[in-house]
């Protein structure tokens, strides 16, 4: 087993054994990572790398949108936030503007940090009484 293969197995097992709350956190972390890569790529004028990572960020947000539980009223609010972020990602992809991506990154970090706090308060997504 090569070192990279061992890491791949570890990552796969981490995902397969994660709670839904952990998976959500991993998605936020992934979106933040892709957005950071896109910012650097824009600054270096690496158009293809910027495009690819903006699209990866968008796909994560799209997944959040698709999986919203619409039976709760708050889902409408989240949907509006996700629509806005996706609109800004589209604008950033057209213009390759790192400032727009910095704005998106700020929103993603806020949402991730809020999610971490929800996990902490609910014992990783399982309500504590």
pLDDT digits (tens, 9 = 90+) for 8-25: 665 565 666 689 899 999
Question: Spelled out in words, what is the top-level CATH class assigned to the domain 19-121?
Answer: mainly alpha
- Its pTM stands at 0.85
Q: Where are the domains of the chain?
A: 19-121
Residue 101 above 70 pLDDT?
A: yes
The model's pLDDT over 43-73, given as tens digits with 9 standing for 90+, comes to 999 999 999 999 999 999 999 999 999 999 9
What is the reported pLDDT for 29? 97
Question: What percentage of the chain exceeds 70 in pLDDT?
Answer: 82
CA distances from 17 to 10, 14, 86, 126 (A): 11, 5, 29, 15
């Amino acid at each position: 087993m090569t070192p990279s293969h061992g890491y791949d197995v570890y990552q796969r097992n981490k995902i397969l054994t994660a709670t839904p709350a952990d998976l959500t956190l991993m998605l936020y972390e992934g979106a933040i990572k892709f957005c950071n890569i896109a910012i650097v790529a824009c600054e270096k004028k690496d158009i293809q790398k910027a495009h690819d990572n903006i699209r990866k960020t968008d796909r994560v947000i799209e997944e959040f949108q698709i999986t919203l539980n619409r039976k709760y009223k708050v889902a409408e609010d989240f949907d509006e936030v996700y629509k806005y972020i996706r609109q800004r990602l589209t604008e950033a992809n057209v213009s390759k503007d790192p400032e727009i991506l910095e704005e998106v990154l700020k929103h993603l970090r806020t949402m991730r940090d809020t999610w971490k706090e929800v996990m902490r308060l609910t014992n990783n997504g399982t309500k504590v009484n």
